[in-house]
Amino acid sequence: MSNLEITAASSADTFADTPFHSGERAVQQRVGVLEKMATRGQLIRSFMPDQHRDFFQQLPFMIVGSVDRRQQPWASIVTGAPGFVTSPDAGHLAIHAPLLPADPLQQTLVEHAAIGLLGIEPHTRRRNRMNGKVEKSDAAGWTLKVEQSFGNCPKYIQARRPSLVEDADAAAPVVHRSGQLDSAMQKLIAASDTFFIATAYFGKPVDESAVASTANNRQHGVDVSHRGGKPGFVRIDDEKTLTVPDFVGNFFFNTIGNLVEHPRAGLLFIDFVSGDLLYLAVSAELIWDGPEVAAFKGAERLLRFHVEQAIRVEASLPLRWSEAELSPALAPMGSWQA
């Protein structure tokens, strides 16, 4: 009931032209949308449309997913004045920004690394995704080659506006590392209405003998996504365990499908008042049904995370945020409180 094992979807020949890998298709099959989603693969492109290119270039921050040498995913954030991201052509993004102190990207951002990007503008509830590979990296920044580009709906995004703060004389942030959640980490999580999740896929292409396009070549990929809920929607079961409801989405099942194949994830929590960042490396399990799922109104399933590494960096993020306007999509959803 609570493990990630799931029967694989139909034959590779049937899905030779789909951008969805075996884990994503298996979950689509489980929930009854496999055939429907086979016709929606064209929504995932191997290039960025102009509106996506323009969108990325206007943002003051982006969320980044990467993996370390142990195949552990991490979720990170990069930030700068709008324009710190440029798009020289429809197949590339260039990021010109220093990495934040203690951010896992300090170790994972190397040439040819798989990267997932989420461009999100909370106050307009717009978001676009891009997954690709690092083509080059140096002191000036790094360039990504697009492999997959697609949009996301505005569901579950809390509307808050970021603004950059500059403090060139600020001391190096204090970094706290642990194998479990200390009281300050738990306090940050308990108040959160948003987090970001990075996952990875290490399988084979749909058809090794005839990979028709870059979008189908899913030998190795990273994805990073947004999760939103009412404050406290991430339940702290103990200092090593978190439980989160998974709401209905676009049926791509990028995150869930990756976890079926590789049950590890990276989580990023942001304190929108202080600028503290909390990076978590976790193992994951899915709870597909049962009384716990039924008890949370609106939950399609639950995600349970087991903390393996935790890094909290005080006042690391040079952004501050307006008060949040809760997503109207969350109004009918439940909470862990009675």
Q: What is the pLDDT of residue 170?
A: 64
Q: What is the pLDDT of residue 47?
A: 94
* Confidence tier at 132 by pLDDT (50, 70, 90): very high
Which is it for strands 235-238 and 241-246: parallel, antiparallel or unpaired?
antiparallel
Average pLDDT, integer, range 90-110? 96
Mean residue pLDDT of the chain comes to: 89
- DSSP-based helix, strand, coil % in the chain, nearest 5: 15, 35, 45
Q: What is the pLDDT of residues 297-306, one digit of tens each?
A: 999 999 999 9
Domains of the chain: 22-328 (2.30.110.10)
Q: What is the pLDDT of residue 204?
A: 59
- Which residues are within 8 A (CB) of 136 and not within 5 positions of it... i.e. 6 or more apart? 111, 142, 143
CB contact at 8 A, 274 and 314: yes
Q: Which residue type is seen at 91? A: G
* Confidence tier at 148 by pLDDT (50, 70, 90): very high
Residue 229, pLDDT above cutoff 50: yes
* Confidence tier at 249 by pLDDT (50, 70, 90): confident
Residue 5, pLDDT above cutoff 60: no
More confident: 37 or 271: 271
- Which residues are within 8 A (CB) of 285 and not within 5 positions of it... i.e. 6 or more apart? 2, 3, 4, 263, 303, 304, 306
- Token pair listed for 317: 């993020």
Neighbouring CB atoms inside 10 A of 270's CB total: 23
The model carries a pTM of 0.91
Tokens 């323009």 belong to residue:
54
Q: What is the pLDDT of residue 174?
A: 96
Residue 141 forms beta bridges with which residues? 138
Q: What is the pLDDT of residue 167?
A: 67
User: Measured at the alpha carbon of residue 212, what is the angle toward residues 209 and 216, in degrees to the nearest 5?
Assistant: 95
Sequential DSSP letters for 285-327: EEE-SSHHHHHSTT-SEEEEEEEEEEEEETT---EEEPPPB--
Average pLDDT, integer, range 192-220? 64
What gap in Å lies between CA 301 and CA 292, rounded to an integer? Answer: 9
Determine whether 83 is exposed, middle or buried from the number of CB atoms within 10 Å of its CB (0-12, 13-18, 19+). exposed
What gap in Å lies between CA 118 and CA 16, rounded to an integer? Answer: 27
CB contact at 8 A, 261 and 23: yes
Residue 8, pLDDT above cutoff 50: no
Residue 117, pLDDT above cutoff 90: yes
Percent residues over pLDDT 70 in the chain: 88
Residue 14, pLDDT above cutoff 60: no
Q: What is the pLDDT of residue 252?
A: 87
Residue 215, pLDDT above cutoff 70: no
Q: What is the pLDDT of residue 36?
A: 87
Tokens 């099959």 belong to residue:
29
DSSP 180: S
Percent residues over pLDDT 90 in the chain: 77
